[in-house]
């Protein structure tokens, strides 16, 4: 029997006690007990968590993979096999021609609704696509269904009171890398390991402080191509003083996340230059083609509505191995004294609290 689990879009902040997380895991256990086949997909967190459950429980799965063409389909299959430790003997991938993997993929959703022998609705938004698609369906089992909770970004949206700039003036000789609450797995972590960690971590979703500690645990800041020109992988720091940069820590509605939060790692500017950090070149987009290859790597639009040069960014074009930096050339910033004391005791790095 081919069983699908349907879940409307949910909040990005999850923990072991998030209702739809608990119910999805229970539904997958039922599928395992019945030796049935899970019909699922990729992309959004509600699909990806099903892949995790399927891998964890060793379910047989049919995974619908929306892709532009066969080349992208093969790439997506490899990616999700690696991310979720999927077993070729247990998983069948199905190609579905589509221009979008992540956003409003109604063709994919309709395929899953139409091809399931049995449907387990979990948390369905009223008048949404799944809600309307299930109205005339009879192959529905509501054992695991819960009310849909209208999610809000407010839990992820942070506000911090102003700081005394005199308190941080002595730290102006540092470049800083600021963290934030993660929406998904860390760069050095598979999605399977991410969800496993979520299930083991009691009470709350991950925070910016967790991200900071993960960096110190692994002793590396992983480079990323997110928002970078031509997907060049970089590690970004800023030369703006703490007091001035505080004003740039804002909620970014487009990305549903904070730009930064006041949890940071500081490196002595001279040491950063020695390591290989390069100052970003801010200019208008129409000037890009005139730049040399080296300048293009350092390019960032000066902006139209936003003046991006205010970030005073420095880039390193590789992962940053913290083992290469003398510990006396590095500091840590946290909002509270409890957090800074924890960092200093555990990692031996000089830490400062903002409040």
Q: What is the pLDDT of residues 172-200, one digit of tens each?
A: 899 999 999 888 899 889 999 999 999 98
For Cα atoms 75, 79, 83, give the angle at the middle one, nearest 5 degrees. 175
Q: What is the mean pLDDT of residues 221-248?
A: 84
| 153 found inside a domain | no
Cα–Cα distance between 265 and 244 in angstroms, integer? 16
Asked which of 98, 133, 168 is the last residue of a domain, the reply is 133
Q: What is the mean pLDDT of residues 299-309?
A: 83
The domain tally of the chain equals: 2
Q: Are residues 18 and 58 in the same domain?
A: yes
| pLDDT of 103 higher than 60 | no
| 147 found inside a domain | no
| pLDDT of 168 higher than 90 | no
- Structural domain boundaries, residue 318: 158-353
For a pLDDT cut of 70, what percent of the chain falls above it? 94
Cα–Cα distance between 334 and 324 in angstroms, integer? 23
Cα–Cα distance between 32 and 5 in angstroms, integer? 13
Instruction: Please provide residue 293's backbone torsions phi and psi, each rounded to the nearest 5 degrees.
Output: -60, -40
List, in order, residues 6 or more apart from 318 with CB less than 8 Å away: 223, 233, 235, 276
| 294 found inside a domain | yes
Q: Are residues 117 and 169 in the same domain?
A: no
Mean pLDDT of the chain: 90
Residue pLDDT, tens place only, 119-148: 999 999 999 999 999 998 999 999 999 999
Cα–Cα distance between 289 and 292 in angstroms, integer? 8
| 141 found inside a domain | no
CATH of the domain at 10: 3.40.50
pLDDT, residue 256, reads 75
pLDDT, residue 243, reads 82
Q: Are residues 91 and 199 in the same domain?
A: no
Q: Are residues 260 and 186 in the same domain?
A: yes
Q: What is the mean pLDDT of residues 54-75?
A: 96
Q: Are residues 65 and 118 in the same domain?
A: yes
Q: Look up tokens 């509505």; give the residue.
A: 305
Q: Are residues 166 and 298 in the same domain?
A: yes
Q: Are residues 162 and 129 in the same domain?
A: no
């Amino acid at each position: 029997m081919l069983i699908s689990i349907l879940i409307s879009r949910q909040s990005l902040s999850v923990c072991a006690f998030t209702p739809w997380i608990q119910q999805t895991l229970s539904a997958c256990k039922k599928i395992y007990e019945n030796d049935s086949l899970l019909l699922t997909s990729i992309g959004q967190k509600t699909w990806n968590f099903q892949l995790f459950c399927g891998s964890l429980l060793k379910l047989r799965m049919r995974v619908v993979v929306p892709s532009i063409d066969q080349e992208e389909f093969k790439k997506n299959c490899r990616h999700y096999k690696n991310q979720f430790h999927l077993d070729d003997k247990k998983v069948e991938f199905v190609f579905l021609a589509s221009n979008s993997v992540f956003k409003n993929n109604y063709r994919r959703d309709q395929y899953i609704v139409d091809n399931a022998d049995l449907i387990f609705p979990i948390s369905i938004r009223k008048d949404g696509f799944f809600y309307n698609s299930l109205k005339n369906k009879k192959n529905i089992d509501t054992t695991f269904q819960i009310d849909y909770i209208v999610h809000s970004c407010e839990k992820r949206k942070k506000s911090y009171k102003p700081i005394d700039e005199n308190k941080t003036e002595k730290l102006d000789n540092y470049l800083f890398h600021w963290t934030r609450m993660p929406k998904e797995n860390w760069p050095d972590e598979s999605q399977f390991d991410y969800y496993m960690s979520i299930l083991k971590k009691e009470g709350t979703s991950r925070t910016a402080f967790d991200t900071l500690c993960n960096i110190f645990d692994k002793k590396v800041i992983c480079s990323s191509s997110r928002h970078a020109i031509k997907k060049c992988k970089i590690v970004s720091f800023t030369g703006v003083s703490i007091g001035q940069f505080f004003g740039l820590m804002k909620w970014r509605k487009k990305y549903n996340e904070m730009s930064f939060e006041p949890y940071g790692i500081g490196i002595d500017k001279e040491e950063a230059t020695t390591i290989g950090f390069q100052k970003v070149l801010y200019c208008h987009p129409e000037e890009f083609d005139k730049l040399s290859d080296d300048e293009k790597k350092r390019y960032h639009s000066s902006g139209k509505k936003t003046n991006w040069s205010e970030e005073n960014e420095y880039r390193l074009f590789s992962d940053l191995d913290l083992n290469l930096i003398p510990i006396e050339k590095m500091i840590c910033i946290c909002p509270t004294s409890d957090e800074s004391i924890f960092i200093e005791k555990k990692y031996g790095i000089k830490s400062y609290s903002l409040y």
